[in-house]
Amino acid sequence: MFKLKIPSLKREFKTVAVTAAIILLIAFSVVGYLYYSGFFTFEKKKDIVGIISISGAILFSEQVDTYAKIISHALRNSTIKAVVLRIDSPGGYADLIEEIYLDILELKKVKPVIASVTTALSGGYYIAVAADYIYAAPTSFVGNVGVIGVMPPTLIPSEIVIETGVYKATGFSKLLFPFNLSHALDSFASAVETGRGSRLKISSVELKRGTIYLGSEAVKLGLIDEIGALQKAISKAAEEAGLVKYDVIDLNEAFKEVAYSWGSLSSNLTLDWRNLTVEVLNSFQPPPSIWYLYLPSESGFTILSSVESTSVGISVFNEYGRGLVLVDRSHGNRVSTWDLDILIAELVGKNITVQFSSSWSNLASMLSNASCLIIASPTIAYSAEECNTVRDFVSRGGILLLFFDPAYEYLSMYELFDPINSIATRFGLFFAKGYLYNEEDYYGFYRNIYVNRFKSSNVTENLKSLVFFTATHIYPSNKGVAWASENTYSSTAEKTGDYAVMAMVKMNGTIVAFSDQTFLTEPYCYVGDNYKLILNIVDLVLKAEVRPTVKEVAEGAVEEIAEPELPVGT
């Protein structure tokens, strides 16, 4: 029978426990000695300054999804103590820019956000002003605060595809769309003014001009804070977060696979923003559309699709009217029945025939029976012989109406100011280059100018206020009968002036020149007193009295038969 030796077992256990305690004590002592002597340290995870790169044009929602993920990661990761935005962007589609801006504002509530700018134009600058502090290089492009809008299309109704409301297919009213752009511009300017605060040294009016500033100029105007590049921005971010030791991490790298996934949507397109055109943008976002985007004018605006005016349709309206108005189409004139439909309707309603002619010889042969000739936005100059024909028509009492519009749809290139002036100069008139604008008093947006100063004449009777939509001005001002409102600028002169937008020359007949063509069309003809002006034009035509030509007089003369001399008393 076995007997347990309990006391002996207890003694062994105590011996082992004491030995283990001594070993642990020695180990901790050694570690403590080595730690305090600096032999090694227990390092905690380093703090991070994260870099978020925003580059290129922001055209797709997939891009914004990627930026949203990166910003969300920076917001929630406790080791990321500050963020640097590295911006090289001309902007993009308006609501996509606003999404990025608003997300960065949320990030800024929690962590310092510093911007380092290479290019920050339009929407790129919109994003930058969400930062606490902005750096840029001396020649960085900064600013271009403004909006580009592509007007809603014209609906051609169908009885197969039907819609439930007047704006269901087009989205916006063409007449009111400029006001929508103004609201977007106000939001943009408000974001700049809020973000920059008292540092901003320019007025709201100057801010909204869309000017591009070099970095060295932008710092003086308070659009940015300091000249510097990425390294300065990183140091500033660390300083604001109170960091001494930190790592710098490119946060885009963590989302690289996702970040480039949107590229497959446009693999066949060159997305360098310098190659973007309105036509390309329309393929991404069909009109109507609103963009916070800088487009170089050479690649941007000059390709805007114009409403072709090559198709005249019916060339004669009210063939047996008591008067005749001829519309020249033989000089590549950018005018159609679509442009003149309201004027045509009013003329036909007064029993006047309106006829378009694509042959100058045919038109010239009909001038003897005409009371009015309309020449609108020609693209081919008039020859000396053709000008003499027109001058002869006016000298006999005819009415000559000259319409010119500097908008691309009617012009397409600046050289096309010459054709209208080839005829206008024969009567002492000259259409100026460029366009008029007013930054304080405008209809919808800055190029829609008010005309509220008038000289008494047949065409200005009972007019109080007109609106011209992208107009130029006419020299000399003293032949004017209507002038743009005060503080109106010329885009070429870059100063205010006394700008005539309607001019009149009296001979036996009358020449009236108009520096806008859009006011004739719907819905623009219903703004202000524009329709009254159309009625005044009709009244002027009605009162025209054209004398026959010398040839007509000769052909129509009746040979006088001499009374025979008879002897007195017979």
Distance, CA of 292 to CA of 297 (rounded, Å):
15
Give domain 316-549's CATH superfamily: Class I glutamine amidotransferase (GATase) domain (3.40.50.880)
- What does pTM read for this prediction? 0.77
Indicate the pLDDT class of residue 549, thresholds 50, 70 and 90.
Answer: low
Can you give the pLDDT at residue 328? 97
Angle formed by the axes of helices 337-349 and 530-542, nearest 10°: 60
Distance, CA of 513 to CA of 503 (rounded, Å):
5
Residue 101 reports pLDDT greater than 90: yes
Indicate the pLDDT class of residue 545, thresholds 50, 70 and 90.
Answer: confident
Indicate the pLDDT class of residue 322, thresholds 50, 70 and 90.
Answer: confident
Structure-model confidence comparison of residues 434 and 299, the more confident one:
434
Residue 393 reports pLDDT greater than 50: yes
Using alpha carbons only, what angle is made at residue 444 by residues 442 and 445, rounded to the nearest 5 degrees? 70
Indicate the pLDDT class of residue 308, thresholds 50, 70 and 90.
Answer: very low
Asked if 212 and 138 touch (Cβ cutoff 8 Å), the reply is: no
Can you give the pLDDT at residue 299? 53
Residue 113 reports pLDDT greater than 90: yes
Residues 6+ apart with CB under 8 A from 195: 129, 130, 131
Distance, CA of 120 to CA of 101 (rounded, Å):
13
Residues 6+ apart with CB under 8 A from 426: 387, 390, 391
Can you give the pLDDT at residue 240? 97
Task: State mean pLDDT over 526-535.
Answer: 98
The token pair at 44 is: 């905690």
Residue 104 reports pLDDT greater than 90: yes
Residue 174 reports pLDDT greater than 60: yes
Structure-model confidence comparison of residues 450 and 25, the more confident one:
450
Residue 90 reports pLDDT greater than 90: yes
Indicate the pLDDT class of residue 281, thresholds 50, 70 and 90.
Answer: confident
Q: What is the mean pLDDT of the chain?
A: 85
Phi and psi angles of residue 514, each rounded to the nearest 5 degrees, phi first: -125, 135
Query: What are the distances in angstroms from CA 566 to CA 94, 345, 569?
Result: 99, 62, 8
Instruction: Express the helix, strand and coil content of the chain in percent, nearest 5 each.
Output: 40, 20, 40
Residues 6+ apart with CB under 8 A from 569: none
Distance, CA of 528 to CA of 45 (rounded, Å):
69
CATH assignment of 47-156+168-293, given 2.130.10.10, 3.20.20.70, 3.40.50.2300, 3.90.226.10?
Answer: 3.90.226.10
Indicate the pLDDT class of residue 102, thresholds 50, 70 and 90.
Answer: very high
CA dihedral 548, 554, 556, 557 (to 10 degrees): 120
Indicate the pLDDT class of residue 471, thresholds 50, 70 and 90.
Answer: very high
Angle formed by the axes of helices 177-196 and 94-108, nearest 10°: 20
Can you give the pLDDT at residue 167? 86
Asked if 396 and 349 touch (Cβ cutoff 8 Å), the reply is: no
Indicate the pLDDT class of residue 441, thresholds 50, 70 and 90.
Answer: very high
The token pair at 444 is: 């919808």
Indicate the pLDDT class of residue 522, thresholds 50, 70 and 90.
Answer: very high
Alpha helices in 200-277 (DSSP H): 204-207, 215-221, 230-241, 251-254, 256-259
Residue ranges per structural domain of the chain:
47-156+168-293, 316-549
Cβ-in-10-Å burial (0-12, 13-18, 19+) of 489 comes to buried
Indicate the pLDDT class of residue 33, thresholds 50, 70 and 90.
Answer: very low
Residue 414 reports pLDDT greater than 80: no
Mean pLDDT is lowest, of 121-135, 172-186, 534-548, 549-563, for 549-563
- Secondary structure (DSSP) of 294-323: ---TTTTGGGPPP---------EESTT-SE
Can you give the pLDDT at residue 498? 95
Asked if 335 and 309 touch (Cβ cutoff 8 Å), the reply is: yes
Residue 125 reports pLDDT greater than 50: yes
- CA-closest candidate to residue 340, choices 516, 517, 515, 151: 517
State what percent of residues in the chain have pLDDT above 70: 80
Residue 287 reports pLDDT greater than 80: yes
CA 149 to chain centre: 5
Can you give the pLDDT at residue 416? 66
Residue 48 reports pLDDT greater than 80: yes
Residue 528 zone, left/alpha/beta (φ > 0; ψ -120 to 50; rest): left
State what percent of residues in the chain have pLDDT above 90: 67
